[in-house]
Chain A
Amino acid sequence: MIAELGLAALWLAAALALLQLALAAIGLAGDKPDLLAGVRPVAVGQGLLAVVAFAALVALFLRSDMSVLLVATNSHSAKPWLYKFAGTWGNHEGSMLLWVMVMGLAGAAVALFERALRHDTHMATLGGQAAISLGFYAFLLFSSNPFARITPPPQDGQGLNPLLQDPGLAFHPPTLYLGYVGLSVAFSFAIGALLTRNVDATFARAMRPWVLAAWVLLTLGITAGSYWAYYELGWGGWWFWDPVENASLMPWLAATALLHSVTVLATRDALRTWTVMLAVVAFSMSMVGTFLVRSGILTSVHAFAVDPERGTFILALLALYIGGALALFGWRVGAVREGARFELVSRETMLVVNNLLLTVILGLVLIGTLYPLMTEAFGHKVSVGPPYFDRIAGPIALALMIAMAAGPLTRWRRDRARAVGRRLIVPAMVALIAFAAFAIGVGGSIGALPFAGLVVASAVAVASLAPLWKRNLLRTPLFTWGMVVAHLGCAVSLGGMAADSAFTVEKLVAARPGERIRTAGWTLHFDRILPVAGDNWTALQADMQVSRNGGAPVAIHPQSRFFSTPPTTTTEAALLTRWNGQLYVVLGQEADAGRWQMRIWWKPFVTLIWMGGVMIALGGALALVGRERRGWRAKWRARRLPA
C-alpha cells in the first residue's frame, strides 16, 4: 500500500512538473498572466509530492517491507534502525529519489521565497527547473522505479554494504545532494535570464543566496565524505582522486568560481556572460559526474547500478539539458550587453584571476577524469591517479591561495599596485619567517609541494585576517566576517593537507599480543585480541594501551569486523585525536602463528583539513545570513504591518 502510494505521488509529481513547464512556457510565450499565476502553486505542489514519495520509501525501509524489490536487495531486518533509515539512499534508485526530491524542494523554495527577481525571469526559471525535474522523474519512473514489488517476497533482505553501515551515511549523501542538486537552481536562473534577456546586477543579487546556500551544503557534504572515507576505509588517506570524488569536486570548483563572479556582477555589474556560463557549468558538472559514476563507464568506489540502459538514459538527459543550455547560451548571450569595465588593478581583476585559476583546475581535473576514456577510444588502457592530480592541480591551487590572500585587500573599481603591496607586507613577512623556520626545522626531509603548502598556508592565514585590521569588529558586516572565516578556513585546510603529507609517520608491524610497538613518539602496548559482537556483526578486536612520550596511557580498540549479510569484512580503524594530530591504527589479518598485522599512522595536524572545510562552509553561511538578513527583516515587518 505504501509502495503504491509512493509511486502514485511520484507520477503525480511528474505530471505537475509537466504542468509547471507548460504553464510557464505558454504563459510567457502568449503573455497570459492567468496561466503564469498557476506556476508557483504548482511548483510547491510538485515539491510536496516529491517529499511524499521519498517519505514513502523511507517508511518502506524502516518497516523492512521485503515485498519491495529495492528493500529486499538493499536492506535486512536485523539492521539497526539508523541504517535502515539511511539505507534508503544507500542504493541507486533511492539516491535518485533523494535527487528528485531535492530538486523538487529547491523548485518549491524558489517559488515561495524568491522575491527580488523580475517576474518573467522568475517564471522562466521555474519553467526551467520543471523541465530538468521532468527528465529525472522520467528516469526514475521508466528505468529505476524504487517502488517495484517482488513476488514472492523473500524471507529477509540481502543487507546493506557494511562499508555504508556508518553514521556517515545519514549525513554525507543528503548534504552532498542538497548542494549538488541545489546548483540546479543556479542553472535554471541562467536559463531564465537568457530566455528573458535579463542579466544584470539585480539578477545577480537574486541568484547569489541560492548559489551560496548550495555551495555551503556542497562544501559540508564533501568535507563529511572525505572524513568518512578517511576513517571507514582504513587506508589512512583523505582524498583519493577517485572519479566520484572528482565528480563532487568539479561542481564545487565551478560553484566557488560562480560565487565570486556573481559577487562581481552583483556589486559592479561586470562579468555578465561569464557568470551565466558558470551557472550553467556548475550544475552541468553535477550531471556529468552523476552520469560518469552511474553508467559504469568509469570504475569507482561508488560504482553502484552499473547498467548501460540507465547510462544511456542519463546520457540522453545530459545531451538534452546541457546541450540545450549551451546552445541557448550561444544563441542568446550575444544579446547580453557588455557589463561595466574595470581597471587592471582592482578587486574585479583579482576575482577574475580567482575565476581563471579555478577554471583551470576544473579543466585539469576534468581532463584527468576523462583521460582514461579518451585513450581507451584509441585502444590504450590507462588509469590516471594521484600523481597526476597532485602535481598538476597542487601548484595551481597554491597560486589560487596567493590570489585569495591579495584579493580582499584590493579595492573595487581601481586601486594602486603599490598600495596593495603595502597591505601585503605583513603576510609577506610571515611567509618569509615561515619559509626560514620550516627550511631550518624540517627542510630537505619533505617534498617541495608540502613545503610550499606550509609556507603559503601560514601567510594566507594572516592575510585572510587582514580585512579585519583596524576595524570595529562589532560593526564589521556579517558578510565580511563570512569571507574572512571562509578564507581562513582555506588556509587551515591547506595547512592540514600539507602537514599530513609532510610529517605523517607510517609503520607496518606484525605483532604478538603482549608486545610493545614504538613509533613517532608513541608507545603502543598490544594487550590482547578478543572477539566482540555488535548488532549485526562480530569482530576481532585488539585491545591496546597507547601513550605519547611517557604520558598517561589511553585504551584504543581497532577492529576487523565481519558482517554476515552480505558476508563482508571491514576494518574499523581506531582513531585517537590529539590537538596536534591523530593516531590511526588499523588491525589487519593474522600473519602467522599468533602475530597480527597492524598499520599505524601518526598524522600531525590532519584534522585541520576537515576543520578548515567546516570553517569554509560556516563562512559561506555567515555571508548568506549577512546578505539576506536585511531582506528577511523587511519582509517580516511588511507581513506584520497590515495586521
Chain B
Amino acid sequence: MKRLLIWVPLALFLGAIILFAGRLATPDDHLIRSKLVGQTLPAFALPPAASDRPGLSSKVLATGQPRLLNIFASWCVPCAAEAPQLMALRRAGVPIDAIAIRDARPDVDAFLKRWGNPYARIGLDARSGVQIALGSSGVPETFVIDGRGRIVHQHIGDIRADDVPGLLNIVEQAR
C-alpha cells in the first residue's frame, strides 16, 4: 500500500504536465461564440440603414430558404475586406441580409457604393441592441439562418476566400 502511495504524487504531477502541455499546444481561443447557435433568432425589427434597401425584421428571415445574416459597419475595415467574398456568395445564389452596427445612412450608402452591395435588406442597429441580443461580440460576423429562422452557424471575423466553400456547404445543408 505504502509502496503505491509513494508514486501517487508523480502520477498526479505527470497528469498535470499533460494538461499543461495540451493547453500550450492549443492556440488561444479568444472567440466568444453566440449562445444562440442552434436556436431561433430573437425577435427584432430594424429601420433601413441604406437609401435603396428596406429595413430588416426577424420575421422576414424565416422565409423557407436558408440565408446569411451579415453583421457589419461602414467604419469597419475588415468588413470592407470581406466584401468580395460576400459578393461571391451572392453570385453563388445565397441570399444575404445585413445589420449595420452604430452607423448612419450616408456612411452606409458610401460604403456600399465603394465596396459593392450584396444585401437584400439592411437594418440599422444604431445602439448595438440587436447585435447583443444575437450574441455577436464584434464586426464583422456572419450568421447562417435556416428556412425556419434558426441560427445554424456563426462565423466570427471577416470571411476569407477559403471560407467561402465551407459556408456554401453549410447553407446547402440547411436547406
Q: Which of A308, A319, A329, A334 contacts B17 (CB 8 A)?
A: A319
Q: Which residues in chain B, 69-86, are within 8 Å of chain A measured between CB atoms? A: none
Contacts of A323 in B (CB 8 A): 10, 13-14, 17
Q: Which of A296, A315, A326, A373 contacts B28 (CB 8 A)?
A: A296
Q: Which of B3, B6, B10, B24 contacts A312 (CB 8 A)?
A: B24
Report whether A297 and B23 are in contact in the complex, using a CB–CB cutoff of 8 Å.
yes
Residue of B nearest to A277 (CB): B9
Q: Which of B7, B16, B19, B24 contacts A308 (CB 8 A)?
A: B24
CB distance from B30 to the nearest CB of A (A): 10
Report whether A334 and B19 are in contact in the complex, using a CB–CB cutoff of 8 Å.
no
Decide if B165 is an interface residue (CB 8 Å cutoff): no
Decide if A370 is an interface residue (CB 8 Å cutoff): yes
Report whether B6 and A377 are in contact in the complex, using a CB–CB cutoff of 8 Å.
no
Q: Mark A103-141, 1 if CB is under 8 A from B, else 0.
A: 000000000000000000000000000000000000000
Report whether B19 and A373 are in contact in the complex, using a CB–CB cutoff of 8 Å.
yes
Q: Is the interface of A mostly helix, strand, loop or mixed?
A: helix
The answer for the CA separation of A315 and B10 in the assembled complex, in Å, is 15
Report whether A315 and B24 are in contact in the complex, using a CB–CB cutoff of 8 Å.
yes
The answer for the CA separation of A273 and B16 in the assembled complex, in Å, is 23
Decide if B43 is an interface residue (CB 8 Å cutoff): no
Report whether B22 and A329 are in contact in the complex, using a CB–CB cutoff of 8 Å.
no
How many of chain A's residues have a CB under 8 angstroms from any CB in B? Answer: 28
A329-B9, A330-B7, A334-B3 known; A318-B17 Cβ under 8 A: yes
CB distance from B166 to the nearest CB of A (A): 21
Chain A CB within 10 Å — which of B13, B19, B20, B21 has the most?
B20
The answer for the CA separation of A365 and B7 in the assembled complex, in Å, is 22
Q: Mark A279-305, 1 if CB is under 8 A from B, else 0.
A: 001001000100100011100000000
Decide if A544 is an interface residue (CB 8 Å cutoff): no
Residue of B nearest to A315 (CB): B20
The answer for the CA separation of A318 and B18 in the assembled complex, in Å, is 12
Contacts of A322 in B (CB 8 A): 13
Contacts of B3 in A (CB 8 A): 334
CB distance from B90 to the nearest CB of A (A): 34
Q: Which residues in chain B, 17-53, are within 8 Å of chain A measured between CB atoms? A: 17, 19-24, 28
The answer for the CA separation of A296 and B23 in the assembled complex, in Å, is 10
Contacts of B20 in A (CB 8 A): 291, 295, 297, 315, 318, 373
Contacts of A327 in B (CB 8 A): 10
The answer for the CA separation of A326 and B21 in the assembled complex, in Å, is 19
A315-B17, A377-B19 known; A330-B24 Cβ under 8 A: no
Report whether B24 and A311 are in contact in the complex, using a CB–CB cutoff of 8 Å.
yes
Report whether B9 and A315 are in contact in the complex, using a CB–CB cutoff of 8 Å.
no
Decide if A376 is an interface residue (CB 8 Å cutoff): yes
Report whether A376 and B23 are in contact in the complex, using a CB–CB cutoff of 8 Å.
yes
| Number of A-B contacts defined by CB within 8 Å | 50
A319-B17, A322-B13 known; A329-B23 Cβ under 8 A: no
Report whether A373 and B23 are in contact in the complex, using a CB–CB cutoff of 8 Å.
yes
Contacts of B7 in A (CB 8 A): 330
Chain A CB within 10 Å — which of B7, B13, B22 has the most?
B13
CB distance from A208 to the nearest CB of B (A): 23
Decide if A333 is an interface residue (CB 8 Å cutoff): yes
The answer for the CA separation of A89 and B13 in the assembled complex, in Å, is 30
The answer for the CA separation of A505 and B3 in the assembled complex, in Å, is 55
Contacts of A297 in B (CB 8 A): 20, 23-24
CB distance from B154 to the nearest CB of A (A): 16
The answer for the CA separation of A641 and B6 in the assembled complex, in Å, is 49
Contacts of A326 in B (CB 8 A): 9-10, 13
Q: Which of A334, A370, A376 contacts B6 (CB 8 A)?
A: A334
Decide if A374 is an interface residue (CB 8 Å cutoff): yes
Contacts of A377 in B (CB 8 A): 19, 22-23
CB distance from A83 to the nearest CB of B (A): 31
CB distance from B159 to the nearest CB of A (A): 25
Q: Mark A308-352, 1 if CB is under 8 A from B, else 0.
A: 100110010011001100110110011000000000000000000
Residue of A nearest to B11 (CB): A326
Contacts of A319 in B (CB 8 A): 17
CB distance from B137 to the nearest CB of A (A): 14
The answer for the CA separation of A40 and B19 in the assembled complex, in Å, is 39
Contacts of B16 in A (CB 8 A): 288, 370
Contacts of B28 in A (CB 8 A): 296
CB distance from B12 to the nearest CB of A (A): 9
The answer for the CA separation of A329 and B28 in the assembled complex, in Å, is 35
Contacts of B22 in A (CB 8 A): 377
CB distance from B114 to the nearest CB of A (A): 33
A308-B24, A334-B3 known; A370-B19 Cβ under 8 A: yes
CB distance from A8 to the nearest CB of B (A): 32
The answer for the CA separation of A296 and B28 in the assembled complex, in Å, is 9
Q: Which of A273, A284, A295 contacts B24 (CB 8 A)?
A: A295
CB distance from B18 to the nearest CB of A (A): 9
The answer for the CA separation of A273 and B7 in the assembled complex, in Å, is 13
For this complex, 5 residue pairs linking A to B, each with C-beta atoms less than 8 Å apart, are A288-B16, A312-B24, A315-B21, A318-B20, A329-B10
Q: A323-B13, A326-B13, A329-B9 are in contact. List 8 more A-B contacts (CB 8 A).
A: A281-B9, A288-B16, A315-B20, A315-B24, A323-B17, A330-B6, A370-B16, A377-B19
* Among all A-B residue pairs, the 9 with the closest Cβ atoms: A326-B10, A297-B23, A330-B7, A330-B6, A311-B24, A326-B9, A319-B17, A315-B20, A373-B23
Residues of B within 8 A of A (CB): 3, 6-7, 9-10, 13-14, 16-17, 19-24, 28
